[in-house]
Amino acid sequence: MKWYKVFESEAVANQTIAPQSAILLQIGNKRLCMARHSDGFFVTDDKCPHNGESLSKGKVNYLGEIICPWHNYRFSLKHGIECENRTHDLATYSVERREDGIFVGISD
Ligand code: FES
Structure confidence by residue, pLDDT tens digits, 60-87: 999 999 999 999 999 999 999 999 999 9
Per-residue pLDDT of the chain (108 residues; tens, 9 = 90+): 999 999 999 999 999 999 999 999 999 999 999 999 999 999 999 999 999 999 999 999 999 999 999 999 999 999 999 999 999 999 999 999 999 999 999 997
Residue 98 C-alpha to ligand 1 middle, in angstroms?
33
CA distance 27 to 66: 20
Query: What does pTM read for this prediction?
Result: 0.96
Distance CA 83, CA 66 (A): 10
pLDDT given for residue 40 in this prediction: 95
Q: Which of 53, 59, 74 to mutate to test the pocket of ligand 1 (most atoms within 8 A of CB)?
A: 53
Please spell the DSSP secondary structure of 46-58, one letter per residue. SB-TTT--BGGGS
Q: What is the atom index within ligand 1 of the atom nearest the CA of 71?
A: 3
- The rounded distance, in Å, linking the Cα atoms of 51 and 30 is 17
Q: Is 71 in the pocket of ligand 1 (CB under 6 A)?
A: yes
Closest by CA position to 22, among listed 76, 67, 53, 63: 67
Class of domain 2-106: mainly beta
Given CA atoms 67, 70, 73, 78 in this order, what sign does their dihedral have?
negative
